[in-house]
């Protein structure tokens, strides 16, 4: 059904014909970035209407976009100069536009949801003389100065810095006075904007801790004859009003300042246990670097995911989440140097989370997302097994063939019924069950944990088939027998892997039931006589994507850099989402290069290389089907892979693991945040493109010689403002009047 079209008139400040106008005084971008200090005026058609054209006070505007594809048009401006529009946004994504002549709007390819605020600050600085103070600036000299970070590339404004170190030794803090020869708009702490100050402020008082780590923790300014104070815990990216301080900074007692400095020097962290293995990441609302280390607990099938600071040191836990769910019941007052989550199996989902360690205290699930402190006895592994038994089901020991035995987690008696004298057949059957009826099973053990067997509920019996009779007999077939409508499950032992199992399928058709002797015997014989075929361990060099440049062409090929005799095949395909070009012309922005071992269905990964560099952050102990690397289409030297995808083969289905280069300064690789919770689904194309767009903007910034308003774009002379002699020749700023 077609919609009526309306014209969006960006010169209007109140709602008008079939268009609602609203002001967001605390805007955030789609990536969660706060746009401090600026307002966002949103023009949105009423229900039943679509955007047809763009105007400014009735004058037609030219914009190269299909406006009907967007639900809103927004304008960003500084509140005291609301008629000066810095940036126009289509929809809620990363489609930002500038104008040279107040009539024609051009998309700014260099601006995205992560750097929008810096772009706006640059406009505000150069056009309105409203500068940015950086409280991370500190000097040992009594008097120094630094350049406003928003106009330092052009005609910089010096910000004076005065050091007061009277209490540096006695109270372990110093104060810096920042004096701006003009106005302050936003305040940064290094690369992070922390707050916006009222109009007319030109001085800031910043208190640094000097006991151990030197960092700013308290700041103040004078507004309308009243001193406003802010504070933060070490590492916090957001500052909050400090109600315990009210006086002129020089009049506040050193003892009170010292007490607060000591309190705020210990970070308070929000941890999310859903985060998987990472060499470096920032907890929510914090700029400190944390890491997650994965450690296998013996050969038990359990894994510890330990969260701690990269640079070591203690912290307090403010909140603990799993995904979007807050976990309750854990004490958070004391300091600790780590928090560990213990999981059953390879997949660290909430359903597999059996124990949480906070400092030297352990917590087990009470119900839902509520946890209780538990005093461990008998060792950590015994505690984990007991919790697994409570959450997932009993632990069966399939090495037991005759006598009843105790569940390895909770001491429940497991009965074993054996059928060893099956006439004319070389296999035996051993049935594990509980006398009271149906039960749940978390996993099986045969001296060590058996892998790739799923947890099951309401099973009546578990049949284990050994073959052949005699001293060489081994468990080769498992049958989960359900007496309800649940489909029975059959699994066979994988060859070449001591503890791995796989679903019975293909030529090994499922037997009809546990006494289908002839069929079972043939399957067991086939498993036993199949030659041992080891899964190769391979080195993948993703820079070798240049062996195949054209999608749809014959696969490229290279030798295993790890020295095996195997060949790795590379295939290319275009990655696109809908119409990415102009007027319906599709534009291919990214390409996917898939690496797999020739004539092998699976392989194990030694490590990934990119040219001569090892990407040791990316690890996997799983059996892999293939590895794919995503590159920007214009990166024909394959210099900067953006995303790497591992396709993992599991018993039930494939799993997909996505890695990206982290935003930290060391550019390590990390699991893509948010996708690790459901690896069974491939990332949808729109989400993947958004991730690729963000990474491309970060790793392929346009040349600084082609600068347009607010940032850089690739272009020819005359398409934007170019730098001459250190100055920027700015396009016409849009004015609404």
pLDDT of residue 367: 93
Same domain, 283 and 359: yes
Place of tokens 């850099």: 561
CA distance 329 to 312: 26
Same domain, 68 and 191: no
pTM of the full structure: 0.68
Question: Is residue 725 in a domain?
Answer: no
Strand partners, 216: 208
Q: Are 128 and 78 in contact (CB under 8 A)?
A: yes
Question: Is residue 256 in a domain?
Answer: yes
A 10 A CB-CB count for 54 gives 22
Same domain, 404 and 487: yes
Same domain, 253 and 322: no
User: What region, left, alpha or beta, does residue 163 occupy, with left being phi > 0 and alpha being psi -120 to 50 degrees?
Assistant: beta
Give the end-to-end CA distance of the chain in Å, rounded to a whole number: 37
Question: Is residue 722 in a domain?
Answer: no
CA distance 451 to 502: 9
Q: What are phi and psi of 41, to 5 degrees?
A: -95, 120
CA distance 401 to 444: 14
**How far, CA to CA in Å, does 727 sit from each of 124, 538, 722, 724, 730?**
16, 53, 8, 5, 9
Same domain, 684 and 545: yes
Question: Is residue 352 in a domain?
Answer: yes
Sign of the CA dihedral with 323 first, then 325, 327, and 332 last: positive
Our CA dihedral for 378, 383, 386, 387, rounded to 10 degrees, sits at 160
pLDDT of residue 712: 25
CA distance 492 to 192: 55
Same domain, 545 and 506: no
pLDDT of residue 670: 86
Of 367, 389, 411, the position where a domain reaches its end is 389
Same domain, 680 and 546: yes
CA neighbor of 148 nearest in space, from 169, 129, 174, 166: 129
543 Cβ neighbours under 8 A, 6+ residues apart? 609, 610, 611, 638
Question: Is residue 720 in a domain?
Answer: no
Question: Is residue 573 in a domain?
Answer: yes
pLDDT of residue 439: 94
Beta-strand runs (E) in 170-267 = 173-180, 183-189, 192-196, 203-209, 215-223, 226-231, 240-241
Same domain, 344 and 486: no
Count of domains observed in the chain: 5
Of 264, 287, 313, the position where a domain reaches its end is 264
Same domain, 182 and 327: no
Name the DSSP letter for residue 580: -
Question: Is residue 350 in a domain?
Answer: yes
CA distance 70 to 345: 45
Q: Chunked in runs of 10, what are the mean pLDDT values of the chain (737 residues)?
A: 86 95 95 93 96 95 95 96 94 92 90 93 92 91 84 82 93 94 92 92 95 92 92 94 89 91 96 87 92 84 92 93 94 90 88 92 93 77 90 94 92 92 89 94 91 89 94 92 82 77 76 91 86 76 71 76 88 72 55 90 88 87 90 85 88 80 70 67 87 86 39 26 30 42
Same domain, 114 and 133: no
CA distance 140 to 72: 50
Same domain, 339 and 447: no
Q: Which domain holds residue 205?
A: 129-264
Sign of the CA dihedral with 281 first, then 287, 290, and 292 last: negative
Of 212, 232, 264, the position where a domain reaches its end is 264
CA distance 483 to 654: 29
Strand partners, 59: 56
Helices (H), 455-606: 517-529
Question: Is residue 600 in a domain?
Answer: yes
Same domain, 428 and 502: yes
pLDDT of residue 550: 57
**How far, CA to CA in Å, does 5 sit from each of 8, 15, 47, 70, 91?**
10, 16, 11, 12, 16
What is the chain's mean pLDDT, rounded?
85
């Amino acid at each position: 059904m077609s919609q009526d079209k309306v014209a969006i008139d960006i010169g209007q400040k109140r709602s008008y014909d079939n268009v609602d106008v609203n002001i967001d005084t605390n805007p955030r971008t789609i990536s969660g970035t706060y746009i401090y200090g600026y307002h966002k005026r949103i023009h949105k058609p009423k229900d039943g209407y679509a955007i047809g054209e763009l105007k400014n006070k009735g004058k037609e505007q030219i914009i190269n976009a299909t406006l009907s594809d967007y639900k809103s048009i927004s304008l960003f401006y500084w509140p005291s100069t609301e008629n000066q529009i810095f940036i126009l946004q289509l929809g809620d994504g990363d489609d930002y536009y500038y104008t040279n002549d107040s009539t024609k709007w051009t998309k700014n390819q260099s601006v995205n949801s992560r750097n929008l605020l810096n772009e706006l600050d640059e406009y505000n600085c150069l056009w309105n003389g409203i500068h940015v103070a950086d409280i991370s600036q500190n000097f040992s000299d009594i008097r120094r100065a630094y350049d406003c970070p928003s106009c330092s590339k052009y005609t910089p404004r010096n910000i004076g810095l005065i050091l007061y170190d009277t209490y540096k030794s006695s109270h372990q803090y110093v104060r810096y006075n920042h004096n701006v020869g003009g106005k302050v708009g936003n305040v940064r702490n290094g690369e992070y904007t922390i707050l916006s100050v009222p109009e007319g402020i030109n001085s800031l008082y910043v208190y640094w801790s000097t006991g151990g780590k030197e960092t700013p923790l308290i700041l103040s300014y004078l507004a309308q004859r009243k001193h406003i104070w802010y504070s933060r815990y070490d590492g916090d990216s957001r500052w909050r009003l400090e109600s315990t301080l009210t006086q002129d900074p020089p009049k506040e007692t050193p003892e009170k300042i010292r007490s607060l400095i000591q309190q705020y020097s210990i970070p308070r962290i929000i941890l999310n246990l859903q985060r998987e293995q990472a060499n470096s990441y920032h907890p929510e609302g914090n700029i400190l670097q944390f890491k997650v280390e994965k450690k296998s607990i013996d050969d038990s099938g359990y894994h510890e995911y330990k969260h701690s600071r990269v640079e070591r040191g203690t912290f307090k836990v403010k909140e603990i989440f799993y995904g979007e769910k807050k976990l309750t019941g854990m004490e958070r007052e004391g300091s600790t140097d780590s928090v560990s989550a213990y999981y059953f199996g390879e997949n660290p989902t909430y359903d597999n989370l059996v124990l949480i360690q906070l400092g030297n205290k352990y917590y087990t699930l009470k119900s839902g997302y509520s946890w209780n402190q538990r005093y461990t006895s008998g060792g950590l592994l015994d505690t984990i097994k007991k919790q697994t038994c409570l959450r997932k089901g009993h632990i069966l020991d399939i090495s037991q063939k005759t006598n009843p035995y105790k569940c390895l987690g909770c001491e429940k008696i497991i009965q074993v019924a054996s059928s060893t004298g099956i006439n004319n057949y070389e296999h035996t059957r051993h049935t594990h069950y509980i006398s009271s009826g149906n039960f749940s099973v978390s996993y099986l053990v045969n001296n060590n944990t058996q892998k790739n067997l799923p947890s099951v509920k309401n099973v009546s019996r578990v049949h284990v088939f050994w073959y052949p009779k005699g001293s060489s007999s081994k468990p080769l077939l498992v049958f989960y027998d359900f007496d309800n409508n649940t489909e029975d499950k059959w699994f066979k032992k994988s060859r070449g892997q001591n503890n791995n199992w796989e679903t019975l399928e293909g030529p090994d058709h499922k037997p009809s039931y546990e006494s289908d002797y002839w069929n079972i015997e043939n399957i067991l014989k086939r498993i036993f006589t199949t030659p041992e075929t080891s899964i190769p361990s391979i080195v993948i060099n993703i820079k070798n994507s240049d062996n195949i440049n054209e999608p749809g062409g014959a696969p490229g090929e290279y030798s295993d850099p790890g020295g095996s005799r195997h060949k790795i095949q590379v295939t290319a395909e275009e990655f696109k989402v809908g119409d990415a070009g102009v007027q319906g012309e599709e534009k291919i922005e990214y390409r996917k290069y898939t690496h797999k071992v020739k004539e092998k269905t699976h392989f194990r990964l030694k490590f990934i290389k990119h040219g001569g560099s090892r990407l040791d952050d990316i690890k996997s102990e799983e059996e892999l089907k293939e590895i794919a690397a995503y590159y920007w289409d214009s990166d024909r030297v394959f210099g900067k892979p953006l995303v790497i995808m591992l396709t993992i083969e599991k018993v039930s289905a494939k799993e997909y693991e996505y890695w990206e280069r982290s935003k930290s300064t060391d550019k390590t690789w990390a699991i893509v945040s948010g996708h690790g919770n459901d690896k069974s689904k491939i990332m949808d194309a729109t989400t993947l493109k958004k991730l690729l767009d963000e990474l491309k903007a970060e790793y392929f910034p346009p040349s600084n010689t082609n600068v347009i308003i607010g940032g850089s774009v690739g272009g020819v002379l005359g398409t934007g403002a170019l730098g001459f002699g250190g100055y920027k020749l700015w396009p016409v700023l849009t004015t609404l009047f």
